[in-house]
Amino acid sequence: MEPHDLESDKGGNAALKEVPAGEEPPIQKPQGFWARFRYYEELLDRKMGIESHTVERVLPEDRKPPNPLVMGFMWASATMNLSCFSTGFLGNEFGLSLGQTIPITIFATLLGSATTLYLAARVIWMAVNPYVFIQAWCATMGPPTGLRQVAISRYSLGFYPSSIIAALNVVEQLGWASVSCITGGLALSAVSDGQLSSAVGVIIVACVSLVFSFIGLKGVLAYERYAWILFFIVFMIIYGEAAHRADLSAPPTVSGMTESGQILSLISVIYGSSASWCSIVSDFYVHYPVNTPKVKIFMYTLLGISIPTCIGMLLGCCIASALATNPEWNDAYENGIGELLRVIIYPDGFSKFLLVLLVLSGIGMNCIAIYAGSISAQLFAKPFQLVPRAIWTLIVFICILLLGLAGRDHLLAVLSNFLSLLGYWNTSFFVILFTEHYLFRGGNFANYDLDAWNTPSRMPIGLAGLTAFLCGAAGWIVGMVETYYTGAIARMIGDDGGDVGNELALVFTIVSYTPLRKLELKYIGR
In order along the chain (526 residues), what is the average pLDDT of each group of 10 residues? 41 44 57 67 65 80 85 88 87 91 88 54 32 63 90 93 92 84 83 82 87 78 87 93 90 91 89 82 88 83 86 93 92 87 87 85 85 91 86 90 80 63 83 92 90 93 94 94 88 92 92 96 90
**Half-sphere exposure in the Cβ direction for 184 (13 Å, CA):** 31
DSSP three-state, residue 8: strand
- Residue-level pLDDT at 261: 92
Q: How many residues does the chain have?
A: 526
- pTM for this structure? 0.83
CB 79 within 8 A of CB 306: no
- Residue-level pLDDT at 16: 40
- Residue-level pLDDT at 118: 42
With respect to CATH, is domain 66-410 assigned 3.30.470.20? no
- Residue-level pLDDT at 257: 93
Long-range CB pairs of 104-108, under 8 A, 24+ apart, other chains included = 104/263, 104/266, 104/267, 104/270, 105/270, 105/310, 105/313, 105/314, 105/317, 106/310, 106/314, 107/267, 108/266, 108/267, 108/268, 108/269, 108/270, 108/271, 108/274
What does the alpha-carbon distance between residue 305 and residue 358 come to, in Å, rounded to a whole number? 18
- Residue-level pLDDT at 153: 93
Q: In this structure, how many other beta carbons lie within 10 angstroms of the beta carbon of residue 324?
A: 13
